[in-house]
Amino acid sequence: MSGSGRLMISLALFASLLVCVNAHFNYKEALTKSIIFLEAQRSGKLPPHPRPPWRGDSALQDGKTVGVDLVGGYYDAGDNVKYGLPMAFTVTTLAWAAYFYKAELTSAGEMKNVLDGIKWGTDYFLKASTGNNRLFVQVGDPVSDHECWMRPENMKSSRKVLEINQNCPGTEIAAETAAALAASSIVFRDVDKTYSRNLLHSAKKLFQFANEHRGTYNGECPFYCSYSGYHDELLWGATWLYIATRRPIYLKYIQDESTTAIVSEFSWDLKFAGAQVLLSQLYWEGQKEFQTFQRQADGYICQVFPESPYHQAFITPGGLLHFRDGANAQYVTSTAFLFSVYSDLLARHRMQVTCGDKHFTSVQLMAFAKRQMDYLLGDNPIKRSMMVGFGNNPPLQAHHRGASVPVMAPTEDVNCGMSFVYWYNTNKPNPNELTGAILGGPDKQDRFIDSRTNSSYTEPCTYVNSVAIGVLAKLAK
């Protein structure tokens, strides 16, 4: 073969490799649609002309049984229950995206929509936390909810209300809600100062309640049990309050009272890594008292990054992080977000991560974050998107009541037993597109079953999308 022929083949192979490594998607479209999914999860009185056109007002009497207005907030996933812990984490991480990627979200034209999404949650939290040492943490009964496959606009299941107080504490939920309000107060500071002050005032009260009346609340089990305990939420809440106020009381808690650990997961249940990344930013900006947390943030990277000699996270044959079956995409998007933020901090301060005898740059970390997002968007062995309404061969059967039940009059009576026959146990596409929902995703062998009866593959969650928004905004630049 001639030298020119060998050169042409080599160039072709190199071009093919570039297409594989640098798979490109319309990240701005993915960003927009990710936000639209969160709008589809809204409960309460919706604004005129919602972007998911099949959604309507729902749960307008929430809280009436206990004499409190608890209308609003978010449904967590494919059901019609409002759980406080994952809702608060959704809002905290959405606020973090708005705080850290403000320029990128503004450039993409999505900052207002993100602020609206944050406020939809914080308005609810303000109503749920009006009393001292008291927080309403759940509306809806998961048992009765799971006995009926019905869209929220027509549901007739119990809207039971659960609360935590000084006699029945719930440190995890109170501290996470404090984090949500504190983080949100930062992003609203230049938008609405009065509202920002109200958020911060409530955040301070909730953190005090969480810290002074310690105890794990298991009322949201078996769906949102706190497996990791409450020390991570206390550190997380104190960190956001310190960033929002710079008050010594929160600095003292972080330095002298908090518990911390190197972990390989960032999720609604485990926040150590998130707090460590936030405190690393302060460390590199000059607060050397946070060095321990910066080293632990490095430790998180070393446990997750596949090229690290200390990595523990499982990677599927197709390259996807896999922590657990059932909404595994939440760990993918949360990892991508932390890697994205940390890569920016490394680049800003000209630092690297050292794992044993290996050193990793900001470029390498961001490439890994992008690879994880690209897998979800369609660059995977089965060549299909995991985001509804986006990309190649997206899912059609999201495990989601509102999306799978046709629009009907609000007064229409539905037999709960037959609802599963009509709309759940059918092998048909959902009548309503759940635009932007990132579903649970493939298993450890990169297999994906697009069936609403297989919830581990097809159920969406607000906290899968909330942590995707920041990294998508960065990729959309």
Show the tokens assigned to 116: 């609206």
- Is 172 known to be catalytic? no
Give the single-character DSSP code of 152: G
Q: What per-residue string of b and e applies to 200-233 under the rule 16 or more CB within 10 Å gives b?
A: bebbbbbbebbbebebbbebbeeebebebebbbb
Instruction: Name the pairing type of β-strands 321-322 and 358-360.
Output: unpaired
Residue 321 belongs to what H/E stretch? strand 321-322
Q: State which H helix or E strand residue 138 sits in.
A: strand 134-139
Q: What is the DSSP letter of 80?
A: S
Q: How many other C-beta atoms lie within 10 A of the C-beta of residue 75?
A: 26
Best CA proximity match to 316, nearest among 303, 298, 328: 328
Active-site residue flag, 146: no
Q: CB 147: neighbour CB atoms within 10 A?
A: 15
Catalytic residue among 62, 232, 433, 450: 450
Please state the φ and ψ torsions of residue 378, each to the nearest 5 degrees: 135, -10
Catalytic residue among 39, 76, 79, 374: 79
Separation between Cα atoms, residue 388 and residue 432, nearest integer Å: 11
Phi, psi of 163 (to 5 degrees): -135, 160
**Which among 467, 475, 231, 427 is positioned nearest to 327, based on CA atoms?**
467
Angle between helices 171-187 and 111-128 (to 10 degrees): 140
Assess whether 374 carries a catalytic annotation: no
User: Whose CA is closest to 417, among 171, 162, 40, 148?
Assistant: 148
CA 45/CA 158 separation, integer angstroms: 19
Tokens of 174: 């109170």
Q: CA nearest 377: which of 363, 368, 365, 388?
A: 388
3-state secondary structure at position 139: strand
What's the token pair of residue 389? 């309404």
Map tokens 């609802």 to a residue. Answer: 419
Find the catalytic residue in 163, 172, 322, 399. Answer: 399
Is 79 labeled as catalytic in the residue annotation? yes
Residue numbers annotated as active site: 79, 399, 450, 459
